[in-house]
């Protein structure tokens, strides 16, 4: 069977070779794939919540491990840096360097209290999406990485990224989120920071 994916706006399309990495060959629709990925993400979140205190989310190995835990039961290439250029993201040969810079910046912001916790989280999230290190699942991974980062600064704040809806299909909330990320690409962080602040519980 052939998997026909109808991606929401702003999503990263997969190449035919990347599509071959789908472990569940019975999947034929985006809805089925979303359900399978959601189940895997729930398991990954459980693992992340139970991680030892020594687990440092701000390392290359941890960043890859989180992606693999979130999507490793669905995609063979989960946790592996992409090898193809996408409609977003740095060139493949810059991924490792730019991701390391992103993680180091986030550590510096936390240690020096450069920004308030929510602004630091918004900026960290944007930079992860901007790097776009994986073939797919970058948005979800980056939101979960941002949550884990925020928990190391202020564990009492919870972010409801969904805004009561979803970010995995086309809707006004997703459009606002994508617009916030694109504005941040041009160094205008206000809209994304305001969105993160509105998501704080």
Q: What tens digit of pLDDT does each residue of 13-36 get?
A: 888 999 999 998 888 888 899 899
In a domain, 8, yes or no: no
- 7 within a domain of the structure (yes/no): no
Burial class, 43, CB count within 10 angstroms (exposed 0-12 / middle 13-18 / buried 19+): middle
Let me know if residue 150 belongs to a domain.
yes
CB atoms within 10 A of CB 159: 21
Nearest-angstrom CA–CA distance, 199 and 22: 32
Note the pLDDT of residue 5. Answer: 57
Reply yes or no on whether the pLDDT at 11 is more than 80.
no
- The domain spanning residue 186 has which CATH number? 1.10.3290.10
With a cut of 50, say whether residue 1 has pLDDT above it: no
Chain segment 42-63, per-residue pLDDT in tens = 999 999 999 887 899 999 999 9
Q: Is residue 47 part of a domain?
A: yes
Determine what percent of the chain is predicted with pLDDT higher than 90.
76
Query: Is 80 contained in some domain?
Result: yes
20-29, 99-108, 148-157, 184-193: the lowest-pLDDT one? 20-29
pLDDT in tens, 144-158: 999 999 999 999 999
Residue 6 belongs to some domain of the structure:
no
Number of independent structural domains in the chain: 1
pTM of the model: 0.92
Does the residue 2 lie in any domain? no
128 and 102 Cβ atoms separated by less than 8 Å? yes
Domain residue limits at 63: 16-199
Q: What is the per-residue pLDDT across 112-135, written as a single tens digit (0 to 9) for each?
A: 999 999 999 999 999 999 999 999
Phi-psi region of 79 (alpha: psi -120 to 50; beta: other; left: phi over 0): left
| pLDDT surpasses 60 at 96 | yes
Residues 12, 166: Cα–Cα separation, whole Å? 17
The C-alpha R_g of the chain, in whole angstroms, comes to 16
Average pLDDT, the chain: 92
Cα–Cα distance between 97 and 168 in angstroms, integer? 28
For residue 1, is it within any domain?
Answer: no
């Amino acid at each position: 069977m052939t998997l026909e994916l109808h991606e929401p706006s702003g999503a990263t399309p997969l190449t035919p070779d990347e599509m071959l990495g789908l472990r569940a060959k019975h999947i034929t629709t985006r809805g089925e794939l979303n359900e399978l990925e959601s189940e895997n993400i729930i398991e990954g979140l459980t693992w992340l919540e139970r991680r030892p205190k020594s687990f440092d989310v701000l390392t290359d190995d941890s960043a890859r491990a989180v992606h693999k835990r979130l999507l490793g039961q669905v995609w063979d290439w989960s946790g592996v840096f992409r090898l193809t250029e996408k409609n977003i993201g740095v060139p493949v040969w810059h991924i490792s360097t730019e991701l390391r810079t992103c993680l180091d910046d986030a550590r510096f912001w936390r240690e020096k209290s450069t920004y308030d916790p929510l602004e630091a989280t918004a900026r960290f999230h944007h930079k992860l999406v901007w790097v776009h290190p994986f073939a797919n699942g970058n948005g979800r991974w980056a939101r979960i990485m941002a949550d884990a980062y925020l928990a190391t600064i202020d564990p009492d704040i919870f972010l409801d990224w969904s805004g009561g809806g979803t970010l995995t299909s086309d809707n006004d909330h997703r459009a606002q989120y994508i617009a916030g990320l694109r504005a941040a690409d041009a160094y205008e962080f206000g809209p994304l920071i305001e969105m993160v602040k509105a998501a704080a519980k």
